[in-house]
Amino acid sequence: MRMLVTGGAGFIGSNFVHYMLREHPEDIIINADSLTYAGNLENLRAVEQEPNYQFVRVDITDREALRPLFEQEIDVVVNFAAESHVDRSILEPDVFVRTNILGTQTLLDLAKEFKVRKFVQVSTDEVYGTLGDTGLFSETTPLAANSPYSASKAGADLLVRAYHETFGLPVNITRCSNNYGPYQFPEKLIPLMIQNALADKQLPVYGDGLNVRDWLYVEDHCKAIDLVIREGATGEVYNVGGNNERNNLQVVRTILQELGKPESLITYVTDRPGHDRRYAIDASKIRTQLGWQPKYNYESGIVETIRWYLSNQAWMEQVKSGGYRDYYEMQYGERLGS
């Protein structure tokens, strides 16, 4: 199978590339990523020489630059490429609309033209909006996005649906809850708090710290996407989540305990505008219909993740200093004449 993976240099995308090369060495992975601030080829250094792996620097809104990739007879497109941070979407919505909506539409057009066998859109539980103290998001929960980020993801989901209904494009959409694990950009809750705690800096907790997220180890998300690629019924949406609801304070306290740092570092700051209170996923469809099961439990997964960041301080320093961005030039600049 020849697979075009977009956004493969980001957090989940790079974990997915590692997962697929390990689990399906017979497949060919083409990683198409424009390397925004969130794209980091250091994440993929260990696999860059693999004969069945190829990296191409390309923006998913650039139709003509993408075309030669589709001419290589792509079987499956998995679209991870996105602007993914809610706080940034509040400051700068434009780029979210451009990449998440127009970029997805560009890929859909090419997938249709080149008759790919499957298009998998990696979406998020945030498209459903927010929950109160009870209830779960199912695949039939109405879309009610609250941030420019989630609105752009919801817009993309509707386009994916429309290309199926109107043009018969074979699609699937996955909607996963919050992921944690290695290679997450340190703007997101868990790596940000780990970094601040290690440096004895304040930990900025939004609002009352009681917003709830349903945490899933990134590899379990990758496993779900792999299953959907191979066995997902055409046109279907699959929710993915591990029933690990924790409020933000609980997450932050676990980090402090594991690092032996005092709770006095916790600092309550002004809330995120439009801050969704609670996400929780009903994943019974993918569990019963495709037999998906998460492998990691939250208690051990979060500790493993904290230890990963501890033993990969060089990675973190490069990300924080922006040094990782030089890597592309060093590795590819001369070869590509850029």
- Active-site residue list: 125-126, 149
Helix (H) or strand (E) segment spanning residue 229: helix 218-231
Asked whether the beta carbons of 214 and 241 are under 8 A apart, the reply is: yes
Least separation, in Å, of the C-beta of 153 and ligand NAD?
A: 5
Encoded one letter per residue, x for contact with ligand NAD by CB under 6 A and - for no contact, window 121-160 reads: -x-x----------------------------x-------
Q: Find the residue with minimal CB distance to ligand TDX.
A: 124
Least separation, in Å, of the C-beta of 78 and ligand TDX?
A: 16
Least separation, in Å, of the C-beta of 299 and ligand NAD?
A: 19
Least separation, in Å, of the C-beta of 251 and ligand TDX?
A: 8
Question: Within 189-218, which residues bind ligand TDX (CB under 6 A)?
Answer: 189, 192, 204-206, 211, 213
Encoded one letter per residue, x for contact with ligand TDX by CB under 6 A and - for no contact, window 265-284 reads: -------x------------
In terms of C-beta density within 10 A (0-12 exposed, 13-18 middle, 19 or more buried), how is residue 248 classed?
Answer: buried
Asked whether the beta carbons of 102 and 248 are under 8 A apart, the reply is: no
Asked whether the beta carbons of 215 and 221 are under 8 A apart, the reply is: no
Task: Specify the residue, 170 or 278, whose C-beta has the smaller distance to ligand TDX.
Answer: 278
60 binds, among ligand TDX, ligand NAD, none (CB under 5 to 8 A by kind): ligand NAD
**How big is the chain, counted in residues?**
338
35 binds, among ligand TDX, ligand NAD, none (CB under 5 to 8 A by kind): ligand NAD
Q: Which among 4, 2, 9, 92 is positioned nearest to 47, based on CA atoms?
A: 9
Question: Within 85-114, which residues bind ligand NAD (CB under 6 A)?
Answer: 99, 103
Asked whether the beta carbons of 300 and 219 are under 8 A apart, the reply is: no
Q: Does residue number 156 form part of the binding site for ligand TDX (CB under 6 A)? A: no
Helix (H) or strand (E) segment spanning residue 317: helix 313-321
Q: Does residue number 80 form part of the binding site for ligand NAD (CB under 6 A)? A: yes
Question: Within 15-44, which residues bind ligand NAD (CB under 6 A)?
Answer: 33-36, 38-39
Q: Does residue number 222 form part of the binding site for ligand NAD (CB under 6 A)? A: no
Return d(Cα 320, Cα 257) in angstroms, integer: 24
Return d(Cα 52, Cα 143) in angstroms, integer: 38
11 binds, among ligand TDX, ligand NAD, none (CB under 5 to 8 A by kind): ligand NAD
Encoded one letter per residue, x for contact with ligand NAD by CB under 6 A and - for no contact, window 160-199 reads: ----------------x-xx-----x--------------
Asked whether the beta carbons of 191 and 309 are under 8 A apart, the reply is: yes
Question: Within 292-321, which residues bind ligand NAD (CB under 6 A)?
Answer: none
Please state, as a whole number, how many other Cβ atoms lie within 10 Å of the Cβ of residue 87.
14
Encoded one letter per residue, x for contact with ligand TDX by CB under 6 A and - for no contact, window 120-139 reads: ----x-x-------------
Rounded to 10 degrees, what is the CA torsion of 146, 229, 286, 215? -50
Please state, as a whole number, how many other Cβ atoms lie within 10 Å of the Cβ of residue 318.
17
Return d(Cα 95, Cα 34) in angstroms, integer: 13
Residues that bind ligand TDX (CB under 6 A): 84-86, 124, 126, 178, 188-189, 192, 204-206, 211, 213, 248, 272
